[in-house]
Chains A and B, each alone.
Chain A
Amino acid sequence: MLILRRKKNESLLIGENIRITIIDCASDGVRLAIDAPKQISILREELSEAEQTNKTALSPDLRSVLQLQSFFHHPAKDGKDGKEY
């Protein structure tokens, strides 16, 4: 992995058509400006991970869901078993 030091308003180039410029640095974060072709997707890493996790969670197998449900025993609140049918 390449690690390098840049100051405010300095840039770096990735390939021929991606430029990243440091707009501002502070102790709680860095602001970047990114010039890149439209077709290149730029995502905050955590967002990509969040999307991926949601996609894995999509529409699980019904039987597995019912199995999971069976683990959620009603948190037996003692003295409160007045079921109405």
Chain B
Amino acid sequence: MTIQTDYGTVEFREEDLLIFRDGIFGFPKLTRYLLLRMNEDDDSILLMLSTEESKVVFVLINPFFLDPDYSPVLAPEELACLETEDSGELSYYAICVVQNDYLENTVNLKCPLVINPKTRHGIQVILKDSPYGYRHKLRSFDAIANPINDQDGSDNHADTST
């Protein structure tokens, strides 16, 4: 099967799909997604494409890449939903809000996507009693802080005086 996206044509097999039976928050009807690596050899940043609605794309970040101490705790019913008792065997991804101004990029560590790699089923959770928020500035993490040192000057408000 193939889908056309803004990122090109993507070929996939049925068994490549991730299934979110309840969708993700705000998108309850979209249940089938493909996960694509953006960098060939690591899982730090990925794209998640809906195969049902080709315009629907999310950028995901491996939260452990940002914060090695990230420690999501799932509720028993969430673990049951993923058909496991061991949260250690699950994969976690955080959805990133990518802005035109990269300084404004944020990541949602409070609502990770959690996937059971064995069943390829996933859910999105809201972590309770966690120190994590909906909008952490990406630049606040050491892993990707100060990526470019002022390529073209740090201040780009030059033409916004009207």
Contact = CB atoms under 8 A, between A and B. Distances in A.
Contact of B147 (A55, A58, A71): A71
A40 interface: no
B41 A58 contact: no
A49 B59 contact: no
Contact of A49 (B41, B98, B134, B147): B134
B81 interface: no
A50 B147 contact: no
A67 to B, nearest CB: 6
Nearest to B49: A59
A50 B111 contact: yes
A68 B96 contact: yes
Contacts of B138: 68, 71
Given A68-B45, A69-B38, A61 B25 contact: no
B39 A69 contact: yes
A64 B105 CA distance: 10
A39 B108 CA distance: 30
Contacts of B6: 59, 62
A74 interface: yes
Interface in A17-47: 46-47
Q: By CB atoms of chain B within 10 A, which of A51, A61, A62, A71 has the most?
A: A71
Contact of A52 (B26, B100, B110, B147): B26
Interface in B75-103: 95-100, 102
Interface of A: 46-47, 49-62, 64-65, 67-72, 74-75
Q: Which 10 A-B pairs have the closest CB atoms?
A: A51-B26, A60-B98, A71-B147, A50-B25, A54-B26, A51-B25, A71-B144, A57-B97, A53-B134, A72-B45
